[in-house]
Every structure is written in C-alpha cells, then in structure tokens.
Amino acid sequence: MKKIRVGLIGLGEVAQVIHLPVLKQLQDRFEVTALCDVSPELVRSIGSDYPRAAQYTQFDKLAGDPHVDAVFVLTSNEYHTEGALAAINAGKHVLIEKPMSVTIREADEIIAAKNRMGVTVMVGYMRRFAAAFEQAVDKVRGMKEITYARVRDLIGPNAYFISQSSVVQRFELPGWAVADRRERGRKLVREAIGEASGELVSVYQLLLGLSSHDISAMREMLGLPKRVVSAEYWRGGRFYSVLFDYGDFRALFETGIDEQGRFDGMIEVMSPTQTVKVDYETPYIRHLPAVVTVSETDGDSYRTEVLRPTYQDPYTRELLHFHRAVTERLEPKTSAEDAREDLVLFRQIIDAMRQPGNE
C-alpha cells in the first residue's frame, strides 16, 4: 500500500490529541516526515518522538521539503490560507482543519491554486465521516417527505474533556506571534463581514469554529437551504439560533458555549412517521461513538432503534478517506468547493442578525 509522507504545520492541541495519534495508528498508510510550529520549543519536544522527521519553524520551508507528499494545515484559522497556498504551490496535497479559510476571497484563492496545480485539497469536517452520520444520511435521503429538522451544538469548554483524557504540551508563544495572530484575525473578519460589533465578531468566530461542523453536516444531509428566515444571538454572541428555509420544511440551528461539562451535539430530521437522529460525543476523546436513533410509527405501533455502526472514530475514517482521495485521485467529499458553501451561509447568517431588533 502506498505510503503518504506527511508534514504537519501547527503542533498544538488538535495535532497532539488527534492527528499524530491517528497517523501513528495508520502507519501502514502515512509516515510523518516533517514538523512545523512557530514555537521552536514545541517543535523540538514533539520532534523527539519523530527523530527522522525534519523540523521547521517556517511553514514555507516545510512546504518545500522534497520528502513531504501532503501537508496537514493545523494552525489557527488566521493562517490556514497562507499555509495551504504554500503547500499547494509546492505541489503538495493538503488536508486543512476546518474552517478552510476565514473569507470567501481566501477560499477562491485556494480553489484556484488547487485547480492550477492539480493536487488534492480536503477540509477536515470529521463529523461527516462518522459512520453513524453516513448511515443517517442514507436514511434521511430515503424519506419521501421531511417536515422539520433540528441541528444543535451546546457544549462546555474543550479543556474539560482534554484535561481528563490527554496530555498536551504547551509553550509560551513569542510576543510577535500573538500580536500577529490578533491583527490578522481582526483584518480577516472585517473583510468577511464588514464593520461589526464585538458581539457579531464573536458570532462569526464561533461559526468558523464549532458551528462549521454543524453547518457542513447539515448541508450534506439536507442540501443548501433556500434562505435564512431569522437569526439572533445573545450573551455576547456565545449563544445564537438560526431558522433556515428549506421550502417544504424549516431547520432550526442552535449553538451555545458555557461552562457545563457536557457535549450536546446532534442532528435530527423528521418525516410524518419517522425521526432520524444522530448524537455526537466530544471528538477529543476518540472512540466515543456517534449513534443513530431511528423512531418510527406504524399504525398503533411505535418503535425506537439505536444503532452504533462501529467504534472506529471519525478522524480515522477521515484520514482513510484522504489517503484514498490522494492515491486514487478521487475528489474528497469535503472538498475546497464544498467548504466554500459554508462561508456563504455564514455571511447570510450574519446579515440576518443585522436586521432591526437583532443587533
């Protein structure tokens, strides 16, 4: 089986808790040959476990490494586009953690570069690779009629789960890196949504983060909504709800972040006689399976079935999909073009929140 030589840009939380362990698990398909982070201490520390991997603090140097076939862009959102373009223009395949970019302009630049260079670009919407989600999609597509849908993500801090299950190495970042990230973020969000209150900026940042998983999964299961009927936020943009118009039905989308130690993420779709619901667990504890619950009424009978297709975690299934997309030259389902649709919806949500009485 062909091995893909991987270079990682960004060695923080998601790299340490998720990607490096999964790559090790799939070492028959992947080999880590290069590591990069703005923190030289972190590069050296992680690199001690990968003595054969080259070490960099500049992502363009990693992108040009001839011993790298594919680059994983695992940095903060503000640097996704720059890292991805450096890799693409060097002829590397790319996996970008969600969101692909902060702005539509950046998305278009990534798509243009990808098409020009003929490489694979895939966005890390791992929830869409959960076996339970894929099974639910098949069941929803078999419905003759949809009456209502709900999409929810109400979660506590990621640190609640990570601190109890993982050890993450952290080093203090240089002052210039902290300032550069803050300024890049400010400029990119302004480009994406224009001048906005601090609360709307918080909403947009949360859309790019947690909610991008939900919007992306909703699109795969239900398609693109026709319009945003209404949208509102509260508690400084840490909670919001959106009502989408799908023509014959509506979909209610709700998101919130608080201090409770729980993960309440789900997608629920209803027909006149059946409900299909996917429940997710925190992704930071791998192998906690998503499950599908199917409830159905048949005459006087009402039955509920809970399905757990596999314990194989979504990140593993995601990387297996990436390997196949690269080696077999297939278009990944979470393509750059697909991810661009989320940015369009995010802007529509923000515009709806600007309506009188919302902002």
Over residues 331-341, the mean pLDDT reads 98
How far apart are alpha carbons 294 and 146 in whole angstroms? 14
Sorting pLDDT into bands at 50, 70 and 90, what band is 325?
A: very high
Is there a common fold for 4-126+317-334 and 128-312+342-353?
Answer: no
Q: What is the mean pLDDT of the chain?
A: 96
Please report where in the chains the tokens 């203090």 appear, as a residue. Answer: 172
Please report, for the chain, how many H helices and E strands are present, in that order: 13, 14
Q: What share of the chain is helix, strand, coil (3-state, %, to 5)?
A: 45, 25, 30
- At 165-214, the pLDDT tens digits run 999 999 988 889 999 999 999 999 999 999 999 999 999 999 999 999 99
Q: Of 104-118, 191-205, 290-304, 344-358, which range is least confident?
A: 344-358
CATH assignment, 4-126+317-334 = 3.40.50.720
DSSP string, 89-108: HTT-EEEEESSS-SSHHHHH
- At 238-276, the pLDDT tens digits run 999 999 999 999 999 999 999 999 999 999 999 999 999
Sorting pLDDT into bands at 50, 70 and 90, what band is 287?
A: confident
CATH assignment, 128-312+342-353 = 3.30.360.10
DSSP string, 219-263: HHHH---SEEEEEEEEGGGTEEEEEEE-SSSEEEEEEEE-S-S-E
**What residue spans define the domains of the chain?**
4-126+317-334, 128-312+342-353
